[in-house]
């Protein structure tokens, strides 16, 4: 997909940060960039633009990014990346719990933002709302594991036969496990494979998404039978245990 088909919404009340991101993203080939300085503007812009990705500050003049994250997602299922100076584990966990897909703490290198967007583009993560036309037909890809099934083509997770809402990054991580049943992956390997960039220091991100998968596919998320922890090594999807 061409860069100029991707719509990016930057939500931040610091003009210097917006200007810096706009400058770097444009140099990297992204032209459809929109901005908002508060929660109200963010929701209005999202409703009009249906952005593919939202760079969302947490502390805003009229509320928080955590509060509006679910509303933004409901307006178009964007990839939501929190940009914030709030770096505690609780803040990171809150961001993911509210529906965020990724989390970067300030100060940050804007080139990293561009790299993360490009990584998702390489995996074909966007396109439905970008105005790029109808995607080419692809063979249907469905992985069935007894209790749940994941349909790559439809972007749908079904548990006990019923569709279950699944944020994009959670879906991509589960899909990766489904494509590699029985293989143990470390947190850094998972981050690099699914998020598309070096995973050093991103343990919280992976752990939260593992938990979000278990909450959807496991009968008892606290005692997982399907997506299990291999102590000292990482995680794996145990196909033979699925009934």
pLDDT in tens, 15-70: 999 999 999 999 988 999 999 999 999 999 999 999 999 999 999 999 999 899 98
The mean pLDDT value for 145-158 works out to: 88
- 116 with 159, same domain: the answer is no
Looking up residue 157, the CATH number of its domain turns out to be 1.10.10.10
- 11 with 118, same domain: the answer is yes
Q: Which of the listed residues 74, 93, 122 is the one where a domain comes to its end?
A: 122
Domain count along the chain: 2
- Confirm whether 46 is domain-assigned: yes
Contact 238, 226 (CB under 8 A): yes
**Coil, strand or helix at 164:** strand
- 112 with 221, same domain: the answer is no
- Confirm whether 135 is domain-assigned: no
- 172 with 237, same domain: the answer is yes
Q: Is the dihedral of CA 104, 70, 75, 205 positive or negative?
A: positive
Which domain does 24 fall in, by range?
Answer: 3-122
Q: What percent of the chain has pLDDT over 70?
A: 83
- 106 with 19, same domain: the answer is yes
Looking up residue 36, the CATH number of its domain turns out to be 3.40.50.2300
d(CA 109, CA 92): 18
**Distance between the two ends of the chain, CA-based, in angstroms?**
39
- 32 with 109, same domain: the answer is yes
pLDDT recorded at residue 87: 63
- 173 with 204, same domain: the answer is yes
DSSP symbol at 241: G
pLDDT band per the 50, 70, 90 thresholds, residue 136: very low
- 83 with 36, same domain: the answer is yes
- 188 with 222, same domain: the answer is yes
- Confirm whether 206 is domain-assigned: yes
Neighbours of 86 (CB within 10 A): 19
- 30 with 105, same domain: the answer is yes
- 233 with 155, same domain: the answer is yes
- Confirm whether 97 is domain-assigned: yes
- Confirm whether 233 is domain-assigned: yes
List the single range of 65-74, 120-129, 213-222 with lowest mean pLDDT: 120-129
- Confirm whether 128 is domain-assigned: no
Which pTM value belongs to this model? 0.60
- Confirm whether 166 is domain-assigned: yes
């Amino acid at each position: 997909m061409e860069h100029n088909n991707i719509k990016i919404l930057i939500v931040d009340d610091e003009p210097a940060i917006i200007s810096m991101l706009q400058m770097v993203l444009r140099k990297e080939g992204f032209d459809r960039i929109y901005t908002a300085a508060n929660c109200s503007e963010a929701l209005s812009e999202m409703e009009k633009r249906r952005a593919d990705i939202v760079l969302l500050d947490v502390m805003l003049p009229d509320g928080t990014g955590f509060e509006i994250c679910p509303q933004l997602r409901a307006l178009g299922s964007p990839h939501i990346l929190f940009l914030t100076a709030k770096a505690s584990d609780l803040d990171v966990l809150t961001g993911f719990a509210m529906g965020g897909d990724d989390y970067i703490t300030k100060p940050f290198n804007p080139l990293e933002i561009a790299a993360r967007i490009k990584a998702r583009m390489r995996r074909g993560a966007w396109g439905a709302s970008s105005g790029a036309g109808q995607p080419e037909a692809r063979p249907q890809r469905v992985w069935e594991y007894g209790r749940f099934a994941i349909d790559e083509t439809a972007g749908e997770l079904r548990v006990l036969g019923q569709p279950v809402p699944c944020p994009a990054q959670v879906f991509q991580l589960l899909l990766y496990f489904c494509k590699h049943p029985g293989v143990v992956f470390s947190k850094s390997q998972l981050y690099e494979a699914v998020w598309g960039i070096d995973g050093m220091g991103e343990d919280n991100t992976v752990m939260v998404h593992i938990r979000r998968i278990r909450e959807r596919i496991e009968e008892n998320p606290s005692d997982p039978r399907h997506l299990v922890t291999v102590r000292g090594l990482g995680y794996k999807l145990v196909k033979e245990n699925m009934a």
